[in-house]
Structure 1
Amino acid sequence: MVSFLPLVSILEGKILKKKCLGILLGIAGIGIVVALYDRVQMKERLERDLYPVQTVFQKAGLKPESEKRYTKAGRVAWTVHLDPDKLRKNGYQFPYDKREEDWLGRTYLPKETLEATLGQDLSHQGTEVGIQAKRTDLKKILAEKRLIAHAGGTMREAGFLSAYSNSLQALKQNYSLGHRMFEFDLNLTQDGRLAAVHDWESDAPTSQDWEQSKTQDVNNIQAQYTTLFWEDILKQMELNPDMIVVTDTKVKDRTQEEIEEQYRILAQAVEKMDPSLADRILVQLYKPEDYQMLEEMGTFKNYILTLYASEMKEEAIVKSLKDKPHILAVTLPQKDERLTDSLISQIHESNRLVFVHTVDGFATLSKILNRGIDGVYTNNLLSKDLELYQEVVDSQKSFDIEVYQK
């Protein structure tokens, strides 16, 4: 008698395998559908300029310590906190008014907020997120930003404004408010370090005394701010990859040797910390003769010729720019009698920008920009003031066209 048991076993095994294969294919199909759904959801948010926080931070080198805290090691360590209404980075604050969670619990924040926090540009191709350094063409940045925060910018507190503090608090507040270009006053301590201070109240202190002191506001002696050295400013540049610094080393009552020594100290600190920081530093020259000396140092690449301590006349100013391609701009006091339409025109013809100092009111800003001046040093003005000016200009153009058509 022939046994059919082996045949039955073979058939049952094939059926079982087909069932398993069907189940696996079903699971795989669900996985594909889920993955496609996830990509569609992410792409839709990216197209609305909402970016996944964890993905962005990972690409920026930040590691999650918890759901709300990310860190990054380096010469200057980063700590970023995710709050319900803002991102905080080492004391800087970046508020946002829009936040979404996807079906997997991932947090999405506005591209603008993430870019401000990281100091870098975000982009995407489909659902692939990209991150890259902002450009360092300082002339274009000067022309677009137009505002240089004078002495780190005004420190705003309830009841008063504190200008000229050159303090860490002023820098953090004004960067958080949108400034990206900062001028700092720099003076030598007794032992040869550059401290961020407009002038000393008496004799210059030692660097140790300055480090332990607190800079104060004459209008509110209870307000005390953290003092800075040039090296501290460079550390903040490391923390903020889009931060531009304009130096204001002092020349009044200084010998040429002391002036050159200040420039050397500037350069040595940059070379020691990170030579690439020089790409984001604008060194103020007080006389054209110092240009060659700085070029020979080989550290810095961009300069502003500032004329508040010079008596050069129009012809000499224009002539001094010849064969000095790394001078990007010329700056004068806003009420300087040399600031004529002719001088502005000739500086522009030499392919340089014109800045003035110090402008703190919207009315003055409007008049200055309307003359064709490219930008200003300011204590109080913010980017929203520039936006308002542009809105006024655009509105006026439309109004003029309508009147003309009537």
Structure 2
Amino acid sequence: MRRWIALLLLVVVAGLLFWVPRSSSEELAGGFTDYKVISHAMGGINDHAYTNSYEAFIANYEKGNRVFEVDLLLTDDGKLVARHEWTQHMTELLQQEDKLPQDRQATRMSYEEFKQSKILGAYDPLDWKDIMDLMERYPDIYIVTDTKEQEPEDMKHELEMLVSLAKARAPQLLDRVVPQIYNQPMLKTVQEIYPFPSLIYTLYATKDTDQDVIDFVSDNAIDAVTIPEQRVTRSFLSKLKKAGVATYVNTINETSDASKLRRMGVNGVYSDFLTEKDVESTSWLYAFGK
């Protein structure tokens, strides 16, 4: 009799070890919205933000982040690269003044200048081909695009180039590219270039009312909305949730702020420095409404 009891206990224990809850597999079905953190500009590194660098990506990937926002601009010779802006301020922030002549520090770099100018003297700048390399090497990541060109035609050209290069390399990479759109007309522009599986409507540049946003995302199957922190309200979040849309807030770097936003109903945050683990640690508060 004891032998049968021992055998039964062994079977039960083995079953517990190999059983995966249904909710776990369902959580993996939603793509990038399964994650609570979008690493802003590839995430911070050694207290530095906005680097969009290879080393920043590696550091944040190793911490467990899997969704990475990247700023994209064109060089003066038409190459697509990861850069937040072509300004003197950014050149100084990235400590590249000694790499460039004075008259080149506040203008678009050439591709060669860009690639040869180490960020903070240590980190490697990325172009779109480098980012595709990372997507092939790390098949569990998503790339959220922040196309920084101000003119609509230049922004369109950025996306066309991105799609063309991806199709030539490995078209399936586009399944893990999530473009941000900044106004309603941009949706048609993006859809005419490529039918991306996922899109984010980012609100920092729009004058849409809350109801305008809710109607737009509901009518167009937008996956997520990114909301500036000062625009977050429980009512807005609740209506977006009812519309089946995930919500993110940018840019949040304190766990206390992430916890507060989670309690309000936000799915996740853009962050320079927070990790999935950091935000997950606030989830028990969120779950119990504390």
Query: What is the TM-score normalised by the length of structure 1?
Result: 0.58
Distance 2:213 2:28 in 1: 21
Asked if 2 retains the 8 angstrom alpha-carbon contact of 1:344 and 1:373, the reply is yes
Distance 2:236 2:284 in 1: 28
Distance 2:15 2:117 in 1: 50
Work out whether 1:147 is the aligned partner of 2:37: yes
1:207 is aligned to: 111
CA shift digits 1:204-232 (9 cap, x unpaired):
0111111111122xxxxxx4210100111
Q: Which amino acid in the other structure matches residue 230 of structure 2?
A: K
Secondary structure of the residue aligned to 1:289 is helix
Distance 2:38 2:66 in 1: 8
1:130 is aligned to: none
1:384 is aligned to: 277
2:100 is aligned to: none
Cα distance change on mapping 1:392 and 1:347 into 2, 3 Å? closer
Work out whether 1:235 is the aligned partner of 2:133: yes
Residue 342 (structure 1) shift: 2.3
Which of 140, 157, 162 pairs up with 1:266? Answer: 162
Residue 392 (structure 1) shift: 4.2
Distance 1:141 1:389 in 2: 22
Cα distance change on mapping 1:207 and 1:299 into 2, 3 Å? farther
Distance 2:179 2:107 in 1: 26
Cα distance change on mapping 1:392 and 1:302 into 2, 3 Å? closer
Cα distance change on mapping 1:148 and 1:139 into 2, 3 Å? farther
Distance 1:291 1:311 in 2: 16
Which of 183, 187, 192 pairs up with 1:287? Answer: 183
The structure that is helix-richer by fraction is 2
Task: Count residues with an aligned counterpart.
Answer: 254
1:300 is aligned to: 196
Greater relative contact order structure (CA < 8 Å, 6+ sep): 2
Q: Which amino acid in the other structure matches residue 155 of structure 1?
A: I
Distance 1:357 1:166 in 2: 16
Work out whether 1:249 is the aligned partner of 2:144: no
Cα distance change on mapping 1:341 and 1:387 into 2, 3 Å? closer
Which of 223, 226, 236 pairs up with 1:331? Answer: 226
Across the aligned residues of Structure 1 and Structure 2, the Cα RMSD in angstroms comes to 2.6
Work out whether 1:195 is the aligned partner of 2:86: no
Residue 182 (structure 1) shift: 0.4
Q: Which of the pair has more CA radius of gyration?
A: 1
Secondary structure of the residue aligned to 1:214 is coil
Asked if 2 retains the 8 angstrom alpha-carbon contact of 1:142 and 1:375, the reply is no
Cα distance change on mapping 1:300 and 1:285 into 2, 3 Å? same
Cα distance change on mapping 1:391 and 1:144 into 2, 3 Å? same
Q: Which amino acid in the other structure matches residue 334 of structure 1?
A: E
Residue 138 (structure 1) shift: 8.6
Asked if 1 retains the 8 angstrom alpha-carbon contact of 2:159 and 2:193, the reply is no
Asked if 1 retains the 8 angstrom alpha-carbon contact of 2:259 and 2:283, the reply is no
Query: What is the TM-score normalised by the length of structure 2?
Result: 0.80
Residue 142 (structure 1) shift: 3.6
Which of 224, 230, 238 pairs up with 2:122? Answer: 224
Asked if 1 retains the 8 angstrom alpha-carbon contact of 2:42 and 2:69, the reply is yes
Distance 2:219 2:206 in 1: 20
Residue 335 (structure 1) shift: 1.6
The structure that is strand-richer by fraction is 1
Cα distance change on mapping 1:387 and 1:300 into 2, 3 Å? closer
Secondary structure of the residue aligned to 2:81 is strand
Distance 1:310 1:239 in 2: 36
- Unaligned runs of at least 5 residues, structure 2: 1-13, 20-24, 88-105
Determine what percentage of the aligned residue pairs are the same residue. Answer: 31
Q: Which amino acid in the other structure matches residue 317 of structure 1?
A: V
CA shift digits 1:64-107 (9 cap, x unpaired):
xxxxxxxxxxxxxxxxxxxxxxxxxxxxxxxxxxxxxxxxxxxx
Asked if 2 retains the 8 angstrom alpha-carbon contact of 1:138 and 1:280, the reply is no
Secondary structure of the residue aligned to 1:245 is strand
Asked if 2 retains the 8 angstrom alpha-carbon contact of 1:267 and 1:299, the reply is no
Distance 1:298 1:196 in 2: 21
Which of 355, 372, 378 pairs up with 2:265? Answer: 372
Distance 2:284 2:189 in 1: 44
Asked if 1 retains the 8 angstrom alpha-carbon contact of 2:181 and 2:200, the reply is yes
